[in-house]
Amino acid sequence: MTEQRHFVDIRHAQKSYGSLEVLKDISLTVERGQIVAIIGPSGSGKSTLLRAINDLDPLTGGEVWLDGVQVNKSLPHRQYEKHINAMRQQIGMVFQHFNLFPHLTVRQNVTMAPRLLKGISEKEADQLAEEQLAHVGMLERIDYFPSQLSGGQKQRVAIARALAMKPKLMLFDEATSALDPELVEEVNLVMKKLAEEHMTMIIVTHEMDFAASVCDRVLFMDGGVVVEEGPPGVVFRNPTQERTRNFLRKHLEGAK
Amino acid sequence: MDIELMMRVWPFFLKAAWVTIQLSVLTTILGLICGASGAAARLSRLGWLRFLGAAYVSLFRGTPALIQLFILYFGGPQIGIQLDAFEAGVIGLGLNIGAYMTETIRGAIVAIDKGQREAARTLGLSHFQAFRKVTLPQALRLMIRPLGVNINALIKGTALVAAISVIELTYTAQRYIGSTYKPFEMFFLAGVLYMIIIYGTGRGIAWLDRKVRIV
């Protein structure tokens, strides 16, 4: 079972809270440079699955592999902490509520982790911050505090913060769900740009149009299982499962 | 009101106020040490430490501070703890206010959104790094005002050590009443001095709070 073929390889992921099983034997593979969207109703387990990948929500069963290394290895506590911290440096994550550090400037938000974990100099850190912030179009706000930014700007900074660690994989947990509708586009544009640069991404989203336009593959989850999986053209236009059709119909109605 | 008498005893009251200030400062320092340790214990991963922290808080918040002082000062010698009145006052009040500060500090730490910790851990920071760089700086800002409330209570609480004959403001007032029979003037003087100390401290806390506030 140690053979590793896929870049991201989730094998028989299972998660329970007491008697409540939120992930039921889910397997998922993602190749380098691929973009996978996970859609589904709330409570379907999609965020839990995403958060299992960097072990924020540890699985109760199954394995997560990234680039040939098992993320959720069983190790003694202290060794595991070391291992998981090293793994997390390679996995960027973007949250629904941005979670920028409010006591730090935009610059410091971006440079804190690289300075602390990679021991780079202040000059290198500044350069890194400028580079990453320019990438998301936030360079002119480099010395602002998060409270002085709009939601869309905060999320772009959060993306720059994650990218500054040069991750191999980016996880997006409903990155645009907390944004005002008119601010969604600027974040989507940044994500599209990452897609064009072949960043490997797993995206939990409620935005079907966006998922359809950037993703290589879509997973529809419901009740802790993957109901349907395939290219966006198939899942969105010709879903084979009744549950997928119901979800999409409700969702499109809701969007109108 | 016998103003002339008040003018005469004023220098002695000032001296007593200085003792009250010393008591307050030392008690605050000890209280903060106890509070930080108590909060660390209450938030520990280890069950027995959490229990110890909780026991400390309920013991010292669940009994009158005066009884705690009496046990320490009068009961102490019976179990081999010999302290002079001032020392007993600082240690007794410090342990007492430390229990309240434990809850203040713990409250500020748990009030920091868990998304902050998650974002830090996701970047690869260790548990300790996330605490030091992300949770603590925000919690410190959050705890300044409520700690100010604790310190306000503590300053007024120093009046209790008059009961174990520490020669501070309240004790001094009582002593001069004994020789002058003018309780109104003496307690008025003491009250004014307490108010000045508390007002000054309050302004200091407010200044600190403004200074570190996040934009």
B201 touches B133 (CB < 8 A): no
- CA-to-CA distance for B206 and B203, rounded, in angstroms? 5
Mean pLDDT of B109-138: 95
**Interface pTM (ipTM) of the complex?**
0.91
Tens-place pLDDT, residues B83-118 = 999 999 999 999 999 999 999 999 999 999 999 999
Identify the helix (H) or strand (E) that includes residue A80.
Answer: helix A77-88
Tens-place pLDDT, residues A193-225 = 999 999 999 999 988 888 888 999 999 999 899
Tens-place pLDDT, residues B56-75 = 999 999 999 999 999 999 99
Comparing CA positions, the residue from B4, B2, B3, B9 lying closest to residue B190 is B9
The two tokens of residue B4 are 């002339």
- CA-to-CA distance for A133 and A151, rounded, in angstroms? 16
The two tokens of residue A227 are 């109901």
Interface size A-B, in CB pairs within 8 Å, comes to 65
- CA-to-CA distance for A219 and A214, rounded, in angstroms? 14
- CA-to-CA distance for A192 and A176, rounded, in angstroms? 13
The two tokens of residue A9 are 């390889």
- CA-to-CA distance for A196 and A76, rounded, in angstroms? 40
Comparing CA positions, the residue from A23, A109, A34, A86 lying closest to residue A59 is A23
Identify the helix (H) or strand (E) that includes residue A225.
Answer: strand A225-230
Which residues of chain A have a Cβ shorter than 8 Å from any chain B Cβ?
54, 56, 81, 85-86, 88-89, 91-93, 95, 97, 99-103, 112-113, 116-117, 145, 147-148, 158, 161-162, 165
Contact across the interface for A165 and B124, Cβ inside 8 Å: yes
Torsion-angle region of B208 (φ positive above 0: left; ψ -120 to 50: alpha; else: beta): alpha
This prediction has a pTM of 0.87
Q: At A10, is the secondary structure helix, strand, or coil? A: strand
The two tokens of residue B3 are 């103003």
- CA-to-CA distance for B103 and B61, rounded, in angstroms? 10
Q: How confident is the model at residue A4 (pLDDT cuts 50, 70, 90)?
A: low
Contact across the interface for B119 and A54, Cβ inside 8 Å: no
